[in-house]
Amino acid sequence: MSQTGNNIGKYVQRERKKKGITQEQLAEYTGISWSAISRFETGQSMLSVERILKIAAVLDIGIESIFCDYVKTMPDLSDETTQEIFKLLSICGEHEKRYLLENLKLVMEHLHNA
């Protein structure tokens, strides 16, 4: 699972423990299986947004606080070069994007080995 999902799961785990709620209780209150909650908190799997909303409601935490760390670690995509790349990609078909991706990987590998 991604680092983002892992961070979200850890945040939920901290909040659940602060409130003195066990995983089993959270499972009962939300209708989500205990094993799904356990895997989510330990970073082994991700839950749907709908399920995360249920957990947020039970723990009485804002959804924005759950995703806060993710938003803080998002790369800045507002620079001019990145915007131009996105504009060019937006007019490409899937085949063209895959071709460009493979070539970009090769270029990056070459640059890092030079």
pLDDT, tens digit, 9 for 90 and up, residues 76-90: 777 888 889 889 999
Q: What is the reported pLDDT for 53?
A: 93
What is residue 69's predicted lDDT score, i.e. its pLDDT? 61
pLDDT at 73: 61
- Domain ranges (residues) in the chain: 3-73, 80-113
Instruction: Give first-to-last CA distance, the chain, whole Å.
Output: 31
Question: What is the Cα–Cα distance from 93 to 20, expressed in whole angstroms?
Answer: 51
- Output the pTM of the full model: 0.59
Considering 27-36, 40-49, 92-101, 105-114, the range whose residues carry the highest mean pLDDT is 27-36
Nearest 5°: the CA angle 55, 57, 63 is 80
Structural class in CATH, domain 3-73: mainly alpha
pLDDT in tens, 1-52: 555 557 889 999 999 999 999 999 999 999 999 999 999 999 899 999 999 9
Q: Comparing 94 with 78, which gets the higher pLDDT?
A: 94
